[in-house]
Amino acid sequence: MCGIIGYCGPLDAQGLILEGLSQLEYRGYDSAGIALFDEESHMHFIKKVGKVAALKEACAKDPILSHCGIGHTRWATHGGVTGENTHPHTVGNVTMIHNGIIENYHALTENYHLQGKLKSQTDTEVAAAVLNELYTGDPLGAIREFLGCLEGSYSFCIMFEDRPGEIYAVRNMSPLVAAYTGSGAFIASDLTALLPYSRSYFVVPEQKIVKLTAYTVLLYDPDGRECEPEILTASWNTNAAMKNGFPHFMLKEIHEQPEVFKNTILPRLNKGLPDFSDENIPDELLKNVTGIRIIACGTAMHAGMVARALMEPRLRIPVTVSVASEFRYEEPLIDDSILSIVISQSGETIDTLAALRLARESGSKVISIVNVKGSTIARESDYVIYTHGGPEIAVASTKAYTVQIAALYLLFCRMALARGVYSEEHAQSFTGSLLACAPAMEAMIQKKTLIQEIVTHIVGSPDAFFIGRGMDYAFSLEGALKLKEISYIHAEAYAAGELKHGTIALIADHVPVVAIATQTNILAKTISNIREVKARGAYVILIVTEGTRIDNGLADVLITLPATEDKFTVFPIAAVLQLIAYYASVQKGLDVDQPRNLAKSVTVE
Ligand code: AGP
């Protein structure tokens, strides 16, 4: 995600835009830039790698008197964290800032013969070059034609060199709001940047073009006709707006999952087949390795556990998961025949970094799955698959978990193709089912009120158990960690079949047990284990997929997931487990986003 803002009006555009970028910085902070028309209608550009503070410092050295400009704070998706990749991007007459992902930028590059003409690695510069080709002096006509060329998610703010004092904006999927006040015309990614100037605003309708000037904000439909926006009134204060109106970053990030899940998958699909050509991962590597070692910490390690349960039975090679802090000292058997997959949201976890270095020293090639562009783990890997999760602010990892698994699933599918395990048709079916998990996640997020009610039975208990078999056990691990780290309830994940070997002694009346039973091949066995805990007084919260036959009285609460193939149930289940933890923490009145003793990135050993 990125933060974008535009302003036209009587105020100091440079200062206003810089302040707005600070408000939007939670959306991305790899680099920031600004473009301004000065009093003589000349355009000026300042771009800096790093946080908005660096841009502010650069602007303070050479302030521009301006009343019209656009600004951008970047969360890198296409292209590394470099000055060239920093927005705004200018091609000919067109200057543009962008939030989103243009999926067909390869085709546009070819169709408009842009090879060798681009200065950056971004999809945005490609978009600016296309619009520049189409622009012949009519901004609205050129933008309408431009939209017909694009596939993907976007919110653009655009200035044309020969149209000083005007800003154009348009969106598809990515957010964009606009306002007109006595202080001028505003456009931004979200309310955060508008609230200091206006509480009345409108959400820019998709595919409709906004034109801002110092004294007007006009909205045009795709046919070029002017239309009236639906004016809304903000009920948030600025701090709340940083969370887009959610009470906590964690809940906001849970809600973002369907969007960022698609953002991570779609740019890596080519005719429905997984495509890692942008990451330069050779099929030869995926085809020839004789084993896989997945290495990570915490939630990232749990994502690896899910991937292992998917990969090993299908690829028929050993796939192991190691806790990074253990891997480093266990003298692991690893060499150039083994592929190492390192997973880290922050890309800075010191244990994971040390494990990566050990793997590489042993000759193993390393593919890392990382959310933060240009992070240390990404830079030290042989190959990196960036998840497009956007900034994850809450300490409890949520969207990072689901986008990590999405990336791992795509990588598995590519490996299955390269090794002849999957035909192209099979792979296309797999990726189609994977994408269908986005609405399944959304469906469970919409059940949050039901989950909020269930949690009261957990909050009063000092202990809770999460049980399952196979993949369900892997999901249980993440459910227990989430609950522990933000509600401080002692929660334990257990392989359901292992309970009777000791731990079942802890099951007594009303002890909450979250039982996950979505794996068809072992469903009957899991049900038996649930009967065992129920018989000893447990309060059973059972999670199954639609259509699963459950005997009356087996569960105190039944949570039903949309019908989903066994191997894809992780995505809707993740939302349920995250919401259980979230509401437990809220009901206990705890600091959901910054729980005690924890930090977002563990850079100490
Ligand atoms: C998960 O909710 C925790 N925040 C923690 O376990 C985290 O997943 C772990 O520290 C790994 O962090 P990383 O993904 O940034 O490497």
Examine the domain organization and report whether 47 and 137 are in the same domain. yes
Q: Is residue 352 part of a domain?
A: yes
Backbone angles phi, psi at 73, to 5 degrees: -120, 130
Q: What is the percent of the chain with per-residue pLDDT over 90, rounded to a whole number? A: 80
Q: Which atom of ligand 1 is nearest to the CA of 377?
A: 16
Inform me whether the pLDDT recorded for 375 exceeds 80: no
Write the secondary structure of 97-116 as one string of H (helix), E (strand) and C (coil).
EEEEEECCHHHHHHHCCCCC
What is the model's pLDDT at position 71? 98
**Ligand 1 centre distance from Cα of residue 601 (Å):** 7
Domain boundary among 234, 262, 283: 234
**Ligand 1 centre distance from Cα of residue 52 (Å):** 26
Examine the domain organization and report whether 458 and 581 are in the same domain. yes
The secondary structure of residue 238, as a DSSP letter, is H
Determine which of 238-242, 360-364, 473-477, 490-494 has the lowest per-residue pLDDT on average.
Answer: 238-242
Across the beta sheet with 512-516, what order do the strands follow? 490-495, 463-468, 512-516, 539-545, 557-561
Q: Is 196 helix (H, G, I), strand (E, B) or coil?
A: coil
For ligand 1, mutation pick of 386, 602, 604, 605 (most atoms within 8 Å of CB): 602
Query: How many other CB atoms are there within 10 angstroms of residue 173's CB atom?
Result: 15
The residues annotated with a catalytic role in the active site are 2, 600
Task: Tell me which residue has its CA closest to atom 6 in ligand 1.
Answer: 298
Examine the domain organization and report whether 420 and 453 are in the same domain. no
What is the model's pLDDT at position 151? 92
Q: How many domains does the chain have?
A: 3
Domain boundary among 435, 450, 469: 435
Instruction: Single out the residue of 290, 298, 299, 361 nearest to residue 325, CA to CA.
Output: 298
- Between 599 and 449, whose confidence is greater? 449
Residue 27: which pLDDT band, with cuts at 50, 70 and 90? confident
Cis peptide before 88 (omega within 30 of 0): yes
Determine which of 217-226, 237-246, 324-333 has the lowest per-residue pLDDT on average.
Answer: 237-246
Inform me whether the pLDDT recorded for 600 exceeds 80: no
Q: Which atom of ligand 1 is nearest to the CA of 395?
A: 4
pLDDT in tens, 466-497: 999 999 999 999 999 999 999 999 999 999 99
**Which domain covers residue 604, as residue numbers?**
438-605
- Between 348 and 365, whose confidence is greater? 365
β-bridge mates for residue 211, sequence order: 168, 218
**Ligand 1 centre distance from Cα of residue 371 (Å):** 12
Q: Which atom of ligand 1 is nearest to the CA of 397?
A: 2
Examine the domain organization and report whether 99 and 171 are in the same domain. yes
- H helices of 446-598, in order, are 448-454, 456-459, 471-487, 523-534, 570-587
Decide if 31 contacts 47 (C-beta within 8 A). yes
Decide if 236 contacts 245 (C-beta within 8 A). yes
CA distance 430 to 436: 10
Question: Hey, what are 391's tokens?
Answer: 């900034």
Examine the domain organization and report whether 191 and 206 are in the same domain. yes
The secondary structure of residue 208, as a DSSP letter, is P
Q: Is residue 36 part of a domain?
A: yes
What is the model's pLDDT at position 258? 95
Domain boundary among 387, 414, 435: 435
The CATH number assigned to the domain holding 200 equals: 3.60.20.10
Average pLDDT, stretch 193-203?
89
For ligand 1, mutation pick of 250, 297, 405 (most atoms within 8 Å of CB): 297
Angle at the Cα of 238 (from 233 to 239), degrees rounded to 5?
130
**Ligand 1 centre distance from Cα of residue 368 (Å):** 15
Examine the domain organization and report whether 30 and 95 are in the same domain. yes
What is the model's pLDDT at position 604? 61
The CATH number assigned to the domain holding 580 equals: 3.40.50.10490
Task: Tell me which residue has its CA closest to atom 16 in ligand 1.
Answer: 344
Task: Tell me which residue has its CA closest to atom 5 in ligand 1.
Answer: 298
**Ligand 1 centre distance from Cα of residue 180 (Å):** 42
Backbone angles phi, psi at 42, to 5 degrees: -90, 150
Average pLDDT, stretch 581-591?
96
Task: Write the CA distances from 337 to 48, 280, 410, 420, 490, integer angstroms.
Answer: 42, 19, 21, 19, 40
Across the beta sheet with 3-8, what order do the strands follow? 43-49, 31-38, 66-74, 3-8, 184-188, 177-181, 200-203, 232-233
CA distance 99 to 86: 12
Q: Which atom of ligand 1 is nearest to the CA of 298?
A: 6
pLDDT in tens, 410-450: 999 999 999 999 999 999 999 999 999 999 999 999 999 99
What is the model's pLDDT at position 237? 64
For ligand 1, mutation pick of 345, 371, 485, 597 (most atoms within 8 Å of CB): 345
Residue 29: which pLDDT band, with cuts at 50, 70 and 90? confident
Examine the domain organization and report whether 593 and 485 are in the same domain. yes
Question: In whole numbers, what is the pLDDT of the chain averaged over residues?
Answer: 93
Examine the domain organization and report whether 275 and 380 are in the same domain. yes
CA distance 540 to 269: 40
For ligand 1, mutation pick of 349, 350, 368 (most atoms within 8 Å of CB): 349
Inform me whether the pLDDT recorded for 602 exceeds 80: no
141-145, 370-374, 375-379, 387-391: which is most confident: 141-145
CA distance 47 to 354: 34
What is the model's pLDDT at position 524? 93
Residue 594: which pLDDT band, with cuts at 50, 70 and 90? confident
What is the model's pLDDT at position 603? 59
Inform me whether the pLDDT recorded for 274 exceeds 90: yes
Determine which of 151-160, 352-361, 508-517, 593-602 has the lowest per-residue pLDDT on average.
Answer: 593-602
Question: Hey, what are 421's tokens?
Answer: 């395990």
Q: Is residue 241 part of a domain?
A: no
What is the model's pLDDT at position 390? 82
Decide if 14 contacts 172 (C-beta within 8 A). no
Q: Is residue 240 part of a domain?
A: no
Task: Tell me which residue has its CA closest to atom 7 in ligand 1.
Answer: 298
Query: CA 553: distance to chain centroid?
Result: 39
Query: CA 602: distance to chain centroid?
Result: 20
Average pLDDT, stretch 539-568?
94
Q: Are strands 177-181 and 216-220 parallel, antiparallel or unpaired?
A: unpaired
pLDDT in tens, 207-216: 999 999 999 9
**Ligand 1 centre distance from Cα of residue 594 (Å):** 13
pLDDT in tens, 300-354: 999 999 999 999 999 999 999 999 999 989 999 999 999 999 999 988 888 999 9
The string of DSSP codes covering 372-425 is STT-HHHHTSSEEEE-------SSS-SHHHHHHHHHHHHHHHHHHHHTTSS-HH
Residue 169: which pLDDT band, with cuts at 50, 70 and 90? very high
Inform me whether the pLDDT recorded for 243 exceeds 80: no
Task: Name the one residue in this structure whose structure tokens are 């997984």.
Answer: 274
Q: Which atom of ligand 1 is nearest to the CA of 598?
A: 4
Inform me whether the pLDDT recorded for 240 exceeds 60: no
**Ligand 1 centre distance from Cα of residue 582 (Å):** 16
Examine the domain organization and report whether 172 and 314 are in the same domain. no
Question: Hey, what are 533's tokens?
Answer: 């805990």
Question: Hey, what are 349's tokens?
Answer: 């976890």
264 Cβ contact partners less than 8 Å away, ≥ 6 residues apart: 387, 388, 389, 403, 406, 407
Q: What is the largest CA-CA distance in the chain?
A: 81
CA distance 137 to 202: 28
What is the model's pLDDT at position 79? 82
Examine the domain organization and report whether 230 and 300 are in the same domain. no
- Taking the model in full, what pTM does it have? 0.76
Task: Give the helix, strand, coil percentages of the chain, each rounded to 5.
Answer: 40, 25, 35
Q: Is residue 239 part of a domain?
A: no
What is the model's pLDDT at position 379? 84
CA distance 576 to 559: 9
Average pLDDT, stretch 8-37?
93
Residue 260: which pLDDT band, with cuts at 50, 70 and 90? very high
Q: Which residues line ligand 1 (CB under 6 A)?
A: 297-300, 344-346, 349, 352, 395-397, 485, 601-602
Inform me whether the pLDDT recorded for 601 exceeds 80: no
Examine the domain organization and report whether 27 and 158 are in the same domain. yes
Q: Is residue 13 part of a domain?
A: yes
Task: Name the one residue in this structure whose structure tokens are 């991007």.
Answer: 89
CA distance 231 to 218: 13
Handedness of CA 107, 112, 113, 116 (dihedral sign): negative
Determine which of 174-183, 204-213, 292-301, 398-407 has the lowest per-residue pLDDT on average.
Answer: 174-183
CA distance 400 to 398: 5
Residues listed for the chain: 605
Q: Which atom of ligand 1 is nearest to the CA of 404?
A: 14
Examine the domain organization and report whether 30 and 88 are in the same domain. yes
Decide if 106 contacts 399 (C-beta within 8 A). no
Q: Is 49 helix (H, G, I), strand (E, B) or coil?
A: strand
What is the model's pLDDT at position 239? 63
